[in-house]
Amino acid sequence: MEESGYESVLCVKPDVHVYRIPPRATNRGYRAAEWQLDQPSWSGRLRITAKGQMAYIKLEDRTSGELFAQAPVDQFPGTAVESVTDSSRYFVIRIEDGNGRRAFIGIGFGDRGDAFDFNVALQDHFKWVKQQCEFAKQAQNPDQGPKLDLGFKEGQTIKLNIANMKKKEGAAGNPRARPASTGGLSLLPPPPGGKTSTLIPPPGEQLAVGGSLTQPAVAPSSVGGAPVPWPQPKPATADIWGDFTKSTGSTSSQTQPGTGWVQF
């Protein structure tokens, strides 16, 4: 992967100490207890930057920002950055001057949280570098990746429960279709109380329909083989409504003013 042209900042810690460390006599690792921790050789600011795949640990002056030392890191964990065996706040880094000269120095943080952030910043950067390398390999050889076989194997079947699907569709609140009436028209029920009832008069009585009296129908009874009608009532000698109908017609007598009233 080619290095990008810009440099990003991964971590900044304002307080770091630099120590001179003795040569390592065995392969057991470095021990911070062997350093003169109360007499650091230099104190300043630490800044971790990244450019492409490379990370850089830079030791700078707190005020001016002048570079004191720089440690290029190509992998982590590795020989460029190592943890000590007796503490989590101290590390050994390999610095370079750009002319091929290298040296190992010890760095330490006064707070454990700063040491944790220093460690995590390097881990996240090289985890990202590893992912980018894998993506580049997959882009160059797309056929080498695993393929999913979604086809049915021999004798493999699936089941679809259509009954449950119909129940779910019915429970979703779909409106039921209204039955179509004959002739393509929808008949509405009559309003409450508007239904007319047909009264059947008892034998021997008459019904007034539209102001006229109607005779009841002849009962189809047979006596001696001939139809016998219902007994006919006698004609009424007087109007069945009496004086009620007469009073409604004579409205002129009700509207006449009485004695003593002034007519306008």
Question: Which domains occur in the chain, in start order?
Answer: 5-138 (2.30.29.30)
Does the pLDDT at position 252 exceed 50? no
DSSP letter, residue 100: S
Residues in the chain: 264
* Cis, bond preceding 77 (omega within 30 deg of 0): yes
Count of Cβ atoms closer than 10 Å to residue 41 Cβ: 13
Q: How far apart are CA 71 and CA 94, in angstroms?
A: 6
The residue that leads in pLDDT, 203 or 134, is 134
**Which runs of E-coded beta strand occur in the chain?**
8-19, 42-51, 54-60, 67-73, 81-83, 90-96, 102-108, 207-209, 212-214, 221-223, 226-228
pLDDT band (50, 70, 90) for residue 50: very high
Q: What is residue 4's predicted lDDT score, i.e. its pLDDT?
A: 56
Average confidence (pLDDT) over 213-242: 54
What is the reported pLDDT for 7?
Answer: 86
Q: pLDDT band for position 67 (50/70/90)? A: very high
Q: Is the pLDDT of residue 258 over 90?
A: no
pTM value is 0.52
Average pLDDT, the chain: 74
- Per DSSP, the three-state class of 119 is helix
* C-alpha gyration radius of the chain: 56
Residue 114: CB atoms within 10 A of its CB come to 18
Cβ burial of 91 (10 Å; 0-12, 13-18, 19+) is buried
- Write down the pLDDT at residue 176: 58
Higher pLDDT pick, 150 / 112: 112
CB 98 within 8 Å of CB 82: no
Given a cut of 80, is residue 44 above it in pLDDT?
A: yes
C-alpha span between 182 and 94 (Å, rounded): 97
What is the structure's pLDDT at 28? 80
Element (H, E) at 121: helix 112-140
Q: What does the pLDDT average to over 91-95?
A: 94
Distance of CA 236 to the CA centre of its chain: 86
Which carries the bigger pLDDT value, residue 7 or residue 147? 7
Residue 255 gets the label, from left (phi > 0), alpha (psi -120 to 50) or beta, of alpha
Mean pLDDT of 239-249: 52
Q: What residues pair up with 227 in beta bridges, in sequence order?
A: 222
CA dihedral 35, 40, 43, 45 (to 10 degrees): 10
